[in-house]
A and B are shown apart, each in its own frame.
Chain A
Amino acid sequence: MEQVIANGLYLGAQYALIALGLTLIFALMNVLNFAHGQMYVLGGFVTYVIYGQLGLPFVVALIASAITLAAVGAMIEIYLFRPVIRKSHREESTMLLAAAIAFFLDAVILLLFGEKQRGVPKILDGVLNWDFRIIMPYDRIAIGVLAILIIAAFILYMQYSKTGRAMRALAQDRVAAQLMGVQVDRYSMIGFAIGAMLAGVVGGLLVTITGVNSGIGGPISIKAFMMVMIGGAGVVSGAIAGGFILGMAESVGLSVFSGYGDVTYLIIFASLMVFLAIRPQGLMGKPWG
C-alpha cells in the first residue's frame, strides 16, 4: 500500500511537470502543442549527450536541456506559430502546424540520435528500504524531490514575478491585457519558451531513470493531454492535480489489475471519457477555456 502511494507520488510529480508546460502554452496562446512529447524527448537526449557521453555533471546537463528547449520553443513561437495565427481564418489551423512540428522534431531526433534506447549512469546509488514497506532507489527519490521543487519554483515565479503576472493576465483575457499595456507578443514568446523548457527539464530528469528513445514522444503527448483534460485546460493548479491523479491511477491500477495486462489504461481512458462527459471543463478549468 505504502509502496503504491510512493510510486504514485513519484510518477505524479513527473507527470505534473510535463502537464504544466502544456497547459501554460495552451493558456497563453490557445495552441494545443502536439509536439510536447517530442520536446520532452529532445530534452532527454541533450542530457544524455552531456551527462552520459561527455561526462559533465548532471546539473550542467539539466541546465543545458532547459536552455536548449527554451531556445527551440521561443523560435517555434516567433517563426512558426505567430505568422500562422495571424494569417489563418480558423484558429484550429495551429493544430496542423503543431502536428507538423511534432513530425519534424521526431525526424530530427531520429537522424541525430538514432532509434536505440539510450540510458545514462545512475546519479545516486543505493536503495531506500523502509521496513520492506517502501522500497525505492535513492535516485528516484532525488528526481521526485527535484521535480516537486521545480513545480514550487514555477508556481512562485508565476505568482510573484512581473513576467508571471503578465502571463496570468494574458491567460485571463488577451485583449484586456493588451489594453493594460502588456506586450502580448513578447510574453507569448516567453510563455512558449518556458513551456518547452519544462518539457525539456522533465526529459532530462527522467532519462536518468527510464532512459529515452526516439519513439516515445507521441505517447508522452497523449498522456500530457489526458492530465490537462483531467485538471482543466489552461489552469496551472489543474495541471498539477491532473498529473498527480494520473500518476496515482496508474500506480494503483497497475498493482490491482496486474494480472490483466493493459486493462489499466483501458479503464483509465474509459473513465476519463465518462468524467469529461459529466464535467467537460475538468476539475478546475473554466468552461470553454
Chain B
Amino acid sequence: MGIEHNSDGSSKAKPAGSSLAATSLKIVGALLFAAFVLILVPMLINGAERWDLYYTLTSVALLSIASAGVWLTFYIGRINIGQAAYALIGGYVSAILVVDYGVSFWWTLPLAGLTCAVISVFVGLPILRLRGVYFAMVTLVFTEVAKMAALALPITHGASGIANIPLPGALEIFGLTLIPDFNTLENSRYAFYILSVTLMLLCYFMMYRLVNSRMGRLCYSLQQNEELASSIGVNITYLRLVAYAISSFLGGIGGAIFAAISQSVYPSSFAVADSINFMLNCFLGGLGYVLGPMLGTFVLYFGWDWLFQTGKYQLLIFSSVLIALMLILPNGLLSIRLWGKKS
C-alpha cells in the first residue's frame, strides 16, 4: 500500500511531462465514460423509449463485474472456469438472507461477496497449486459441484429455487435515506441500471489501480514465472489466494444483484455455460487489458442479442464470427490498437 501511495505522489510531483499528461488524459477519459453511461445513456434510452435496453445494459454491467474477476485470475496465470459457481453462491446467499431471514438487501450484498471470498480461500488453498488445464478443469468441476449442491441442500429449496425475492428496500444511515426503496420507484429498472453501472465503474477503477499497484506487478510476475517470483521472495501462495478471493468476491456481488433483479434464483441460474462465457468475455476483450472483459462482455452479450433476429441461424452466425475474430485477432479485440501502432 505504501508504495502505491508513493507512485501516486511521484507521478503528481513530476512536473515535466508526458506521464502527467497521460494520467490526466486517463482521468478525463474515465470521467467522460462515467458521465456517458450514467447520464447520457439513460437520456438516450428515455428519448428512444427503449426501456428493454435498461435490462440488457444492466446485465452487461453485472456480467462484466464477474468477468473482471475471471480476468484477475487470468492475470496471475490461471484459467478460471468456475466463476458461475461463485455467482450462484452469491445469488443464493443474498436470496436466502433476504427471504428467509428478512435481512436488508444492502447488507446481503457485501455479505454475499464476503461469503464467496471466504469459500474461495478454502477452495483455492489446495487447487491454486494446480496450473494450466488442471486448474481450469477443477474449476469447471467446481461449477458443477455448486449447482448440484444447490439441488441437494435443504437450505436452497432444491430444484424449485427461491422465486419470491422482494425488491431491495431503502438504505438508511442515521435516518438519512441514501438509496430509496426500489418498490416506491416508478422505474426500478432504471434504479438497477444505475446501481449496476456504478458498481461496474467502481470495480474497474479498483481493478485498474490494483493492476498498476505494487501488488499488480507482483501478480504479473506470477503470470510470467512462479518459481522465479518465489525465488526472489514473492509470497506466491498469499498472492494467488488474495487474487482468487477478490475474483470470487466480484463473482458473488454480480450473482447477488442478478438474483435481486430477476427476483429469483435457481440451481440452473448460473451453469457451466455461464462459466465458459465469463472466460470468453475475457479472451474476446483481450487478456492483456484491464478493460478487456468489459468490452468483451458488451460485444458478446449485444452481439448475441442482436443476432436474435436471425432466428435459427443465431448460434451459427455467432460462432462463425467468434472463430473469425480468433483468426484475425487472436489476442483480443483491444489488441487491434497496438497492431495499428506497429504497422
Q: Taking beta carbons and an 8 Å cutoff, which residues of A are in contact with B?
A: 26, 32, 34, 80, 83-84, 87-90, 92-93, 95-97, 99-101, 103-104, 106-108, 110-111, 218, 222, 225-226, 228-229, 233, 260-263, 265-266, 269-270, 272-273, 276-278, 280-281, 288-289
Contacts and interface: CB of A to CB of B under 8 A. Distances in A.
B144 A280 contact: no
Nearest to B276: A99
B79 to A, nearest CB: 5
A103 B319 contact: yes
A87 B330 contact: yes
B326 A97 contact: yes
Nearest to A219: B272
Point out which of B126, B130, B133, B152 has the most chain A C-beta atoms below 10 A from its C-beta: B133
21 contacts: A88-B331, A89-B287, A92-B74, A93-B283, A95-B136, A96-B280, A96-B284, A99-B276, A99-B322, A100-B280, A100-B323, A222-B141, A225-B137, A229-B137, A263-B152, A265-B144, A270-B145, A273-B141, A273-B145, A281-B134, A288-B131
Given A90-B287, A99-B280, A103-B315, A84 B137 contact: no
Given A96-B283, A276-B127, A107 B315 contact: yes
Interface of B: 74, 79, 126-127, 129-134, 136-138, 140-142, 144-145, 148-149, 151-152, 272-273, 276, 279-280, 283-284, 287-288, 312-313, 315-316, 318-320, 322-323, 326-327, 330-331
A64 to B, nearest CB: 24
A53 B319 CA distance: 29
A266 B284 CA distance: 32
Contacts of A84: 326-327, 330
B132 A88 contact: no
Contacts of B138: 229, 273, 276-277
A21 to B, nearest CB: 16
A108 B317 CA distance: 10
A100 B149 contact: no
Contacts of B145: 266, 269-270, 273
Nearest to B135: A280
A97 B152 contact: no
B272 A218 contact: yes
Contacts of B79: 92, 95
B323 A101 contact: yes
Nearest to B323: A100
Contact of B133 (A99, A103, A289): A289
Given A89-B330, A107-B316, A260-B152, 19 more contacts: A32-B133, A32-B137, A84-B326, A87-B331, A90-B287, A90-B331, A92-B283, A96-B283, A96-B284, A97-B326, A99-B276, A103-B315, A104-B316, A104-B322, A218-B272, A229-B134, A261-B151, A265-B144, A288-B134
Nearest to B332: A93
Contact of B152 (A32, A266, A278): A266
Nearest to A225: B137
B224 to A, nearest CB: 11
Contacts of B316: 104, 107-108, 111
Contacts of B130: 276, 280
Nearest to A232: B134
B322 A100 contact: yes
Contacts of B148: 262, 265-266, 269
B326 A273 contact: no
